[in-house]
Structure 1
Amino acid sequence: MEDKTFSEPNQVGPTETKPQTTTPLSRLINLDATWSLHLHTICAPIIPRNLLKSLEISGDGRFWFPIPIAVLLSPLSTRSPHVRWIVLGLLIGSLLDLLLVGLVKYAVKRPRPVYNKGMHLTVSVDHWSFPSGHSSRVCFVASFLCGSLDSINAALVELRGPGCGKIAKAFVWIVCLWSVVTSFSRVLLGRHFVLDVLAGACLGVVEAWLVFWFLEFGVLD
């Protein structure tokens, strides 16, 4: 009797790999990760890590929260209403930044770079990378103080006398430079991706605008 081989109609053939579809967002994220790793790699042997860590500490929320509180409770706030309004704005902005960054991080949940080393996380939401809290904080401080230049100058006049305009401008320029360098250091230290830093910087500027709107700093002109 002749044997006949029949092919089963439901026989599963070799597994075919379907081409993965990439979206513009996924391509942007991949490009962001590639460039962030590239910047981190080429700058690691050049820029001392201790310097980057110092910038990290200078922009830490645990370092910034006590400053406006201490000034607000000091005699400076009673001697100058401009000082009181400025530090009150810094305190409100810091609290707003903590709230918004935490909400966005929890909603997006982007993991930090795999090459992030030596970071001691204290809260679970800080495991996430987007946006950079350091960048939003320092850019808020810089934007807020830049917009408060007249108030800073008036406070210096109240405390030290006239002729302090150059001191106020130099101080604000130094703070702006510090905010840029600190934000950039987040990528070099391996804490964040480039888009995390850019998003954090934009968020900080928006926070400064919101605080200005809330406090109506125009009355201090």
Structure 2
Amino acid sequence: MEDKEVEQVSLKKTKYAEYIRDFTAIGNPFLLLLVTLATLSSHPQFKTYFPILLAGFFLNEIVCSAIKYFWHKPRPNGQKFKNGFEKIDAGSFPSIHSSRISFVYLSLSYIQYMAGNLLIVPVFLIVIVVVGYSRVFLKKHFLVDVLAGYFFGSLLFFIITFLLK
């Protein structure tokens, strides 16, 4: 390949990585809070659903962080740590991004489905998959970490949904 072709391929790979990095940001806790508020703000049961989702969100963070702290598994990129908070951040199992995105977006999907807003449900489900993919692509997690995150987030969703009935 010529230098120009190599440069174009490299640029395309860089752009793709930037898009994937942007998608992983969807799992940011503050952005998820904003999406939850925007999605539920006009819902007639906002005052019921929002506190439950918020409590589930914090429970998810606590459980996944505890697992990362007590059963430390290094990330694929070998992130180092010096203290307990950094140890949680440097842990790979489970993926808290995947866990929180699956809990929040499954919950919002269910609420929207029950309200008859069916068009947003597939979008939320696709976002769950893309965020998980982004974590593996960016070498922040192994696939098993993302799958475990999906499991914990989904389990929490089903427990809370069962308790609400």
- Paired with 1:67 and 1:175, the residues of 2 have a C-alpha distance of 11
Of 104, 117, 126, the residue aligned with 1:177 is 126
Could you tell me the percent identity over the aligned residues?
Answer: 28
2:98·2:150 contact (CA, 8 Å) conserved in 1? yes
2:98·2:132 contact (CA, 8 Å) conserved in 1? yes
Partner of 2:138: 189
Aligned length: 149
Of 195, 204, 219, the residue aligned with 2:153 is 204
Partner of 1:92: 55
- Paired with 1:135 and 1:49, the residues of 2 have a C-alpha distance of 18
Partner of 1:103: 66
- Paired with 2:68 and 2:37, the residues of 1 have a C-alpha distance of 26
- The structure that has the greater radius of gyration is 1
Partner of 1:28: none
Of 69, 77, 81, the residue aligned with 1:114 is 77
Quote the RMSD (CA, aligned, Å): 2.7
2:33 alignment partner AA:
F
1:149·1:169 contact (CA, 8 Å) conserved in 2? yes
Partner of 1:50: 18
- Paired with 2:61 and 2:26, the residues of 1 have a C-alpha distance of 16
1:91 Cα deviation from its structure 2 partner: 1.1
2:112·2:120 contact (CA, 8 Å) conserved in 1? no
Q: 5+ residue gaps in structure 2? A: 1-11, 80-84
Of 97, 115, 139, the residue aligned with 1:134 is 97
Of 144, 148, 160, the residue aligned with 2:107 is 144
Deviations 1:107-135 (A, max 9, x none): 2100111367xxxxxx3211111000110
Deviations 1:158-211 (A, max 9, x none): xxxxxxx3xx11111100110111111100011000110000000110110122
Normalised by the length of structure 1, the TM-score is: 0.59
Q: 5+ residue gaps in structure 1? A: 1-43, 117-122, 154-164
Normalised by the length of structure 2, the TM-score is: 0.77
The structure with more helix, counted as a fraction of residues: 2
